[in-house]
Structure 1
Amino acid sequence: MIIIREPTNPEKLKEMAEPFFGLRIKLAVDVAREILAGGGELHFDCEQLLLDDSSKQENIWGADWYPITKEVGFESIINIRPRQQNVTMEVRNLQLKSRIEKIVRYLLEVV
């Protein structure tokens, strides 16, 4: 697992996608700091890495990056947060989804 703070390269993407045979990268995205952690087997693992790096839990959301199709997924157990008005695994707030996607694409969408 690694923290990505600036646009990455294909080698790091490949390393982060290894647990899922290159098909998916599990992520935790800090929407306040505009960074992400990826490469764990669980979103929770990535979330812990960001928490250890001084991120605040209320700013961290689970997502997935699909390198082949360049799509972002928004479902994770760590997204169930009734106190933040998100009662499902999927991020429901459209503005928040847009922000997460913007950060993921900026950091991971290698051209």
Structure 2
Amino acid sequence: MIDTNRPLIVKEVNKIQKEYGSYVKVTADLETGWVVIGTELHADGEKILLEKGSKQDNIWGGGINFKDKMVDMTAVLNLRPRLSNTGLEIIDPQRRKKFEEICKVIFQELWK
């Protein structure tokens, strides 16, 4: 498990791929840019971010598909009817964009 707000170096990305295979879960604070990578459940990442001072409404989940180099935005954590997110996928276009931007900065080595 890694928690960071900085881009990963090639060695770190390779280690994550080796440890988790073709997909790794990512939980991100859309306000601060902090991410937790590689937890069993997105809720585990949420707990870590909350302990760092994140606000629950800013924490969203998804993952990185290494095979297709795609950012996934699906997680049980995202089911938040109170915030008008009635599905497992991040629905709000601004939140989707922010989650993808954060993931692409952290995992920028994948897109080089």
Is 1:57 aligned with 2:70? Answer: no
Q: TM-score, normalised by structure 1?
A: 0.89
RMSD (Å) for aligned C-alpha atoms? 1.5
Is 1:75 aligned with 2:78? Answer: no
2:25 aligns to what? 26
- Alpha-carbon distance in structure 1 between the residues aligned to 2:63 and 2:24: 6
In structure 1, runs of 5+ residues without a counterpart are: none
1:106 aligns to what? 105
Is 1:46 aligned with 2:51? Answer: no
Tell me which stretches of 4 or more aligned residues in structure 1 moved more than 6 Å. none
SS of the counterpart of 1:40?
Answer: coil
In structure 2, runs of 5+ residues without a counterpart are: none
Residue by residue, what CA displacement relative to the aligned partner does 1:29-64 show, whole Å, maximum 9, x if unpaired?
100001211111111111111111111111000011
Query: Shift of residue 16 of structure 1?
Result: 3.5
Identical columns (%): 29
After superposition, the Cα gap between the structure-2 partners of 1:65 and 1:55, relative to the gap in structure 1 and judged at 3 Å, is same
Query: Shift of residue 12 of structure 1?
Result: 2.3
1:5 aligns to what? 5
After superposition, the Cα gap between the structure-2 partners of 1:19 and 1:46, relative to the gap in structure 1 and judged at 3 Å, is farther
Residue by residue, what CA displacement relative to the aligned partner does 1:48-96 show, whole Å, maximum 9, x if unpaired?
1111111111100001111232101111000011111101111111121
- Alpha-carbon distance in structure 2 between the residues aligned to 1:18 and 1:43: 20
SS of the counterpart of 1:61?
Answer: strand
**1:70–1:109 contact (8 Å) kept in structure 2:** no
Number of residue pairs aligned between Structure 1 and Structure 2: 110
- Alpha-carbon distance in structure 2 between the residues aligned to 1:40 and 1:9: 19
- Alpha-carbon distance in structure 1 between the residues aligned to 2:16 and 2:46: 15
Letter aligned with residue 93 of structure 1 = D
